[in-house]
């Protein structure tokens, strides 16, 4: 048996989940929070929480980040928690472009607990669940280390990157043949375009951001592609998620609000696979908080990455 990492629809928001080299690309510190609930019709069967904080550190001449992933599957029967530390280093290619390299080390805790599950042999035809099950209860956990890496090229209006997650493919002490997380390689690109309309001044312009991410994990290849539009403080867009060689997974609609101090985005996925009768079966929220710069020394050479 092999397992896969949790996935997100907001690929231009969950950047530190996509590539550790996005650490520090906002120049000043930021805090990012997201929550995804997939297949609500199954009773909160798949829930994922993500937290990230990143900033530049003058002491080590690079960018640092802390990431936390908490992924619950089958209503918590499978419980994965990863706490990661990122170090990223920038190389100024030109006055308007950067190349970044990053490494991430995760503490990874994998837990299985089926003690709260209900089984058919517990059912009495009249009184319902009154018997003890004959199934073997499982309540065990594995603690290990996980490694990720990434490279990113970016200017102030585009980025292109490649990331490699679960490099060492963590296994369980109970079964060395089964990977708890399979190796995942991802390539991603986005670019901002400023579009002028017939209006005058800035009121007659808006930004559009085509984006794409392709990820291979095990035998699965996923492609997420779409376009986002930004007008003043409002964000809207759509994406398609597709399993290459098989079928479309979902169609995503996104709405958001952009202010100087924060960005908020919400999306729902319109399912294209027959998991249940629910068409809208996945919801995702994200919030980015922009904090004041503690160290100004990096500002002269830094370039803000677009769309974040």
pLDDT value of position 263: 93
3 pLDDT above the threshold of 80: no
Q: Tell me, what's the pLDDT at 130?
A: 66
Report pLDDT for 300. Answer: 44
> Residue 206: is its pLDDT beyond 60?
yes
The DSSP call for residue 275 is: S
Residue 299: pLDDT band with limits 50, 70, 90: very low
Burial class (CB within 10 angstroms; exposed 0-12, middle 13-18, buried 19+) of 77: middle
Find the helix or strand (DSSP H, E) in which 258 lies: strand 248-258
Give the Cα separation of 121 and 131 in Å (integer): 7
Average pLDDT of 87-94?
92
pLDDT at 282 over 50: yes
Q: How far apart are CA 4 and CA 274, in angstroms?
A: 20
> Does residue 80 contact residue 15 with C-beta atoms inside 8 Å?
no
- Closest to 210 (Cα-Cα) out of 181, 240, 233: 240
**What's the pLDDT at 287?**
95
**All domains of the chain in start order, with CATH:** 15-290 (2.40.160.40)
- How far apart are alpha carbons 63 and 71 in whole angstroms? 26
When pLDDT is averaged across residues 265-293 and rounded to a whole number, the result is 82
Candidate from 43-47, 102-106, 120-124, 260-264 with smallest mean pLDDT = 120-124
Phi then psi for 272, rounded to 5 degrees? -110, 10
Residue with the bigger pLDDT between 26 and 199: it is: 26
Residues 6+ apart with CB under 8 A from 306: 154, 155, 156, 157, 158, 159, 190, 191, 192, 209
- CA–CA separation, 184 and 186 (whole Å): 7
User: Helix, strand or coil for residue 201?
Assistant: helix
Residue 31 has pLDDT above 70, yes or no: yes
pLDDT tens digits for range 63-90: 999 999 999 887 778 889 999 999 999 9
> Who contacts 239 (Cβ-Cβ below 8 Å, separation ≥6)?
9, 11, 211, 224, 225, 226, 251, 252, 254
Q: What percent of the chain has pLDDT over 70?
A: 81
pLDDT band per the 50, 70, 90 thresholds, residue 46: confident
pLDDT at 26 (0 to 100)? 85
Q: Residue 107: its pLDDT value, please?
A: 96
- Beta carbons within 10 angstroms of residue 118's beta carbon: 10
Q: Under DSSP, is residue 63 helix (H, G, I), strand (E, B) or coil?
A: strand
Going by C-beta distance under 8 Å and a sequence separation of 6 or more, which residues neighbour residue 206? Answer: 194, 195, 197, 229, 230, 231
pLDDT of residue 121: 63
Q: Are strands 139-154 and 128-129 parallel, antiparallel or unpaired?
A: unpaired
> Is-contact 5 73, C-beta < 8 A?
no
Please identify which residue in the block is written with the tokens 């520090």: 24
Q: Given a cut of 70, is residue 122 above it in pLDDT?
A: no
Q: Which of 12, 76, 32 is nearest to 207 (CA)?
A: 12
For residue 222, what are the β-bridge partners?
215, 243
Residue with the larger pLDDT of the pair 38 and 136: 38
List pLDDT tens digits, range 220-234: 888 999 999 999 899
Indicate if the pLDDT at residue 187 is higher than 50: yes
Q: What does the pLDDT read at residue 2?
A: 47
The structure's pTM equals 0.85
């Amino acid at each position: 048996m092999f397992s896969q990492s949790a996935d997100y629809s907001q690929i231009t928001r969950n950047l530190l989940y996509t590539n550790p080299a996005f650490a520090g690309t906002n120049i000043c510190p930021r805090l990012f929070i997201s929550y995804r609930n997939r297949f609500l019709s199954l009773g909160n069967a798949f829930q994922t929480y993500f937290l990230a904080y990143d900033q530049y550190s003058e002491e080590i001449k690079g960018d640092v980040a802390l990431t936390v992933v908490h992924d619950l599957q089958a209503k918590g029967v499978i419980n994965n928690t990863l706490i990661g530390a990122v170090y990223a280093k920038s190389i100024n290619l030109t006055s308007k472009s950067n190349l970044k390299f990053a490494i991430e080390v995760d503490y990874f805790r994998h837990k299985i607990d089926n003690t709260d599950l209900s089984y058919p042999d517990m059912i009495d035809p009249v009184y319902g669940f009154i018997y003890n099950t004959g199934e073997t209860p499982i309540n065990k956990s594995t603690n290990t280390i996980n490694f990720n890496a990434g490279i990113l090229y970016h200017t102030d209006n585009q980025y292109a990157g490649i990331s490699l997650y679960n490099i060492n493919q963590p296994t369980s002490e109970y079964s060395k043949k089964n990977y708890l997380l399979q190796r995942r390689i991802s390539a991603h690109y986005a670019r901002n375009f400023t579009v002028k309309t017939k209006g005058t001044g800035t009121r007659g312009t808006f930004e559009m951001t085509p984006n794409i991410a392709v990820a291979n994990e095990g035998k699965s290849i996923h492609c997420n592609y779409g376009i986002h539009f930004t007008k003043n403080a409002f964000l809207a867009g759509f994406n398609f998620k597709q399993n290459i060689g098989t079928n479309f997974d979902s169609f995503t609609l996104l709405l958001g609000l952009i202010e100087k101090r924060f960005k908020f985005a919400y999306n729902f996925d319109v399912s294209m696979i027959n998991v249940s009768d629910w068409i809208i079966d996945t919801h995702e929220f994200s919030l980015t908080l922009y904090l004041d710069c503690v160290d100004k020394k990096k500002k002269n050479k830094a370039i803000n990455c677009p769309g974040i």
